[in-house]
Amino acid sequence: MPDAQAETGEISQALNSGKHTTTNTRWYWVQPLDGDSQRGALIDSPGFQEFGLHHIEPTRLAECMPDLRQYLGQCKFYNCTHLHEPGCAVLAQVAAEGSGGTISERRHRIYAQLFEELSQQRW
């Protein structure tokens, strides 16, 4: 983030990772790259080296995404994964993206990637 004006340090040759320079938490807005109207955020916080979503069951992931959550319970199957099932209300919104659908293909792709990652064996 070129405009962040954040202090940076050298890369540790021994660990092949950055050295800590963050002394307080800071929130940065990230502008979308591909015309998506929703921007993201990046949080730089001292002491954090990793962040994960592994505490979320893959079948509960859609509940954590407000744009998908609003369609839960409207699918043909009660155990819909919103990835390939016929009669899926989420996929219907993705398919209608250009004509009133509220979920972009990009956003659904992120959901699918996270779903796959969370479905992997953890140990």
* pLDDT band for position 119 (cuts 50, 70, 90): very high
> 58-119, which class in CATH?
mainly alpha
- Higher per-residue confidence, 51 vs 105: 105
Q: Whole-angstrom Cα distance, residue 114 to residue 70?
A: 19
The closest of 22, 40, 28, 21 to 1, measured between CA atoms, is 28
Angstrom distance (rounded) from CA 113 to CA 57 = 14
Tens-place pLDDT, residues 18-73: 766 777 888 888 877 666 666 778 888 877 767 788 889 999 999 999 999 999 99
For residue 39, the cross-strand partners are: none
* CA dist., res. 112 & res. 90, Å (int): 12
pLDDT at position 52: 81
Q: What is the pLDDT of residue 7?
A: 73
Instruction: Kindly indicate the confidence band of residue 103, based on its pLDDT and cuts at 50, 70 and 90.
Output: very high
C-beta separation of 71 from 80 below 8 A:
no
Residue with the bigger pLDDT between 80 and 15: it is 80
More confident site: 46 or 114: 114
| Residue pLDDT, tens place only, 2-23 | 677 777 778 778 877 776 677 7
Distance in angstroms (rounded) separating the CA atoms of residues 55 and 42: 20
Ordered by start, the domain boundaries in the chain are: 2-44, 58-119
| Percent over 70 (pLDDT), the chain | 89
Burial of 90 (0-12, 13-18, 19+ CB in 10 A): buried
Q: How far apart are CA 82 and CA 99, in angstroms?
A: 20
Which of the 8 DSSP states describes residue 20? P
